[in-house]
C-alpha cells in the first residue's frame, strides 16, 4: 500500500512561544512518520479561540486547502483534537481525509499492538473514538481504502451502527476486566516469591526498551519511532544476594496524552500503579527534554503514582558534549547520566535501584 502524503496543520492559541509551537509541530511530524505517512508540507496558524464548526477561520481553511492541493497530499493531520462536527466540515471543505491528534495516536497504537491485551485496549480506544463520529457521515468504519485513520477495530460493514458499537464496547470492557483480574493474580504470585518490581516509565522513544535490554541481556523490540513499544514486557534483572528485580517496560507517555487513551490502557498502566518503584527514563539529547519530563510527571500524577519512589535516568548521554551533559546535570541533579545504547554507567543505575528497593523493603 502506498504511503499517505500528509499535510500537517499546526493550530495554536495566540501568545504561545514560537519555540514551543515548533517543538509540537516537529513531534506531529514524528508521529506521522511513525504511522507510516510521509510529510508533504506544513502550516502554522495562531487563533484567538476555536470556532464550533471549523475550529479555524474559513480563510485559514482555504489556505490549507490550497497548499494541500499544491503538494498533492491525500491527508491533512491536525495537531489538535477536533469535534466530530469540526472534522466532518473540514473534510468536506478540503476534499481529503482529515485526522486529528488523537486519531493519529490511536492509528499508531493499532499498528504496534501485538498481545491480546494490547489489541483489546486499542480496540476499546478506537470504538470510543469512532462512536460519536458515526452520525452524519454514514459509517466511518466503512472506509476500506486503507491509510492513516482508516483502521477499524473489527468488522468493516456498512450496517455497523451505534447500537452495535456500544455492544462491542461492552464486550471488550468485560474482557479487559477479566484480563486485569488475571494480571492481579500474576502480581500476587510475584510478591509471594519476594520479587521486587520496577516499572520503566518515560516519554515515548526515550530509550526504555533499550535500557531493559541492556540491563537484562534481553531482545525486546527496539525502533527509533514514537510508541515503538506498546505492550508491557517484563524481564528479570539479576542482583547478587536477592531474588532479582523484575523490570516492566511500559507504553511511552506524551505531552497532553489523551485521557481516553489513559482510560483504555488501564490494564497496561496497572503495571505502573502496582510497581514497587519507578525508573523514569529521560532522553536528555532531545531539545525538549524538560517539557517531556513535565509531561511524564503529569501522567504519573493522573495515575495517582506521582509520589512513588523513583530513580531518574538521564539517557542518551553518548549524543551529548561535555557542556550539554553539565547542563542536564544542573537541570536534574538527582538524575543518573547513562547511555543505554552504549551501556555506559549502568552500574550506577543498578546501585541506585538496589538502594531504593532496600529502603522500600525496610519500610514494609
275-318 pLDDT tens trace: 999 999 999 999 999 999 999 999 999 989 988 999 999 999 99
- Which pLDDT value is given to residue 354? 86
The CATH number of 194-363, from 3.40.50.300, 3.40.640.10, 3.90.1150.10, 3.40.50.2300, is 3.40.50.300
Q: Round the average pLDDT of the chain to a whole number and report it.
A: 86
- C-alpha gyration radius of the chain: 22
Distance CA 176, CA 311 (A): 30
Is the Cβ–Cβ distance between 229 and 252 less than 8 Å? yes
Q: Which architecture, in CATH terms, is 5-99?
A: 3-Layer(aba) Sandwich (3.40)
- 344 pLDDT exceeds 70? yes
Residue with cell 469540526: 86
Return the axis-axis angle of helices 18-34 and 101-112, rounded to nearest 10°: 40
Select from 54, 129, 134 the least CA-distant residue to 89. 54
- pLDDT category of residue 252 using cuts at 50, 70 and 90: confident
- Which pLDDT value is given to residue 139? 37
- 10 pLDDT exceeds 60? yes
Is the Cβ–Cβ distance between 225 and 252 less than 8 Å? no
Residue with cell 495566540: 14
- Which pLDDT value is given to residue 154? 46
Residue with cell 493474580: 185
Select from 340, 291, 290, 292 the least CA-distant residue to 317. 340
- Which pLDDT value is given to residue 266? 81
Please report, for the chain, the start and end positions of each structural domain, with discontinuous segments joined by +. Answer: 5-99, 113-173, 194-363
Return the axis-axis angle of helices 346-363 and 208-216, rounded to nearest 10°: 90
Give the global pTM. 0.83
162-172 pLDDT tens trace: 788 889 999 99
Residue 277: phi and psi, rounded to 5, are -155, 170
Distance CA 24, CA 122 (A): 24
**What's 330-354 look like in SS3?**
HHCCCCEECECCCCECHHHHHHHHH
- Domain 5-99 matches domain 194-363 at the CATH topology level: yes
- pLDDT category of residue 112 using cuts at 50, 70 and 90: confident
222-246 pLDDT tens trace: 666 666 566 678 888 887 666 678 8
- 79 pLDDT exceeds 90? yes
51-63 pLDDT tens trace: 999 999 999 999 9
Select from 337, 291, 345 the least CA-distant residue to 22. 291
User: Lowest-confidence range among 7-16, 34-43, 68-77, 150-159?
Assistant: 150-159
114-161 pLDDT tens trace: 888 888 989 999 999 988 887 544 434 444 446 776 665 544 443 457
89-106 pLDDT tens trace: 999 999 999 999 999 999
Other Cβ atoms less than 10 A from the Cβ of 292: the count is 25
- Which pLDDT value is given to residue 244? 78
Select from 126, 96, 99 the least CA-distant residue to 35. 99
184-210 pLDDT tens trace: 887 777 766 667 889 999 999 999 989
Residue with cell 473514538: 129
CA–CA distance from 103 to each of 5, 60, 106 (Å)? 16, 22, 5
Amino acid at each position: 500500500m502506498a504511503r499517505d502524503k500528509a499535510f500537517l496543520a499546526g493550530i495554536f492559541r495566540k501568545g504561545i512561544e514560537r519555540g514551543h509551537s515548533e517543538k509540537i509541530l516537529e513531534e506531529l511530524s514524528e508521529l506521522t512518520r511513525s504511522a507510516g505517512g510521509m510529510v508533504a508540507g506544513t502550516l502554522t496558524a495562531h487563533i484567538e479561540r476555536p470556532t464550533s464548526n471549523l475550529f479555524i477561520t474559513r480563510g485559514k481553511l482555504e489556505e490549507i486547502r490550497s497548499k494541500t492541493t499544491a503538494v498533492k497530499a491525500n491527508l491533512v493531520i491536525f495537531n489538535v483534537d477536533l469535534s466530530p462536527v469540526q472534522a466532518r466540515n473540514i473534510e468536506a471543505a478540503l476534499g481529503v481525509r482529515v485526522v486529528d491528534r488523537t486519531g493519529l495516536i490511536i492509528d499508531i497504537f493499532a499498528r504496534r499492538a501485538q498481545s491480546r491485551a494490547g489489541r483489546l485496549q486499542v480496540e476499546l480506544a478506537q470504538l470510543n473514538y469512532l462512536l460519536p463520529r458515526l452520525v452524519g457521515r454514514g459509517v466511518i468504519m466503512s472506509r476500506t481504502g486503507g491509510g492513516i485513520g482508516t483502521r477499524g477495530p473489527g468488522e468493516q460493514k456498512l450496517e455497523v451502527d451505534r447500537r452495535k458499537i456500544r455492544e462491542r464496547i461492552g464486550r471488550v470492557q468485560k474482557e479487559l476486566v477479566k484480563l486485569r483480574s488475571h494480571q492481579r493474580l500474576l502480581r500476587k504470585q510475584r510478591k509471594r516469591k519476594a520479587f521486587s518490581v520496577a516499572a520503566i516509565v518515560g516519554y515515548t522513544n526515550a530509550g526504555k526498551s533499550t535500557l531493559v535490554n541492556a540491563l537484562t541481556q534481553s531482545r525486546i523490540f527496539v525502533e527509533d519511532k514514537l510508541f515503538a513499544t506498546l505492550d508491557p514486557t517484563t524481564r528479570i534483572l539479576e542482583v547478587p544476594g536477592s531474588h532479582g528485580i523484575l523490570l516492566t517496560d511500559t507504553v511511552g507517555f506524551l505531552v497532553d496524552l489523551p485521557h481516553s487513551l489513559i482510560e483504555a490502557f488501564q490494564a497496561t498502566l496497572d503495571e505502573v500503579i502496582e510497581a514497587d518503584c519507578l525508573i523514569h527514563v529521560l532522553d536528555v539529547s532531545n531539545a525538549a527534554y524538560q517539557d517531556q519530563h513535565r509531561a511524564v510527571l503529569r501522567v504519573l500524577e493522573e495515575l495517582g503514582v506521582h509520589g512513588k519512589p523513583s530513580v531518574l535516568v538521564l539517557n542518551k548521554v553518548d549524543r551529548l558534549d561535555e557542556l550539554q551533559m553539565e547542563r542536564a546535570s544542573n537541570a536534574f541533579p538527582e538524575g543518573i547520566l547513562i547511555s543505554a545504547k552504549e551501556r555506559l554507567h549502568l552500574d550506577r543505575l543498578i546501585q541506585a535501584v538496589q538502594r531504593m528497593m532496600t529502603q522500600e523493603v525496610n519500610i514494609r
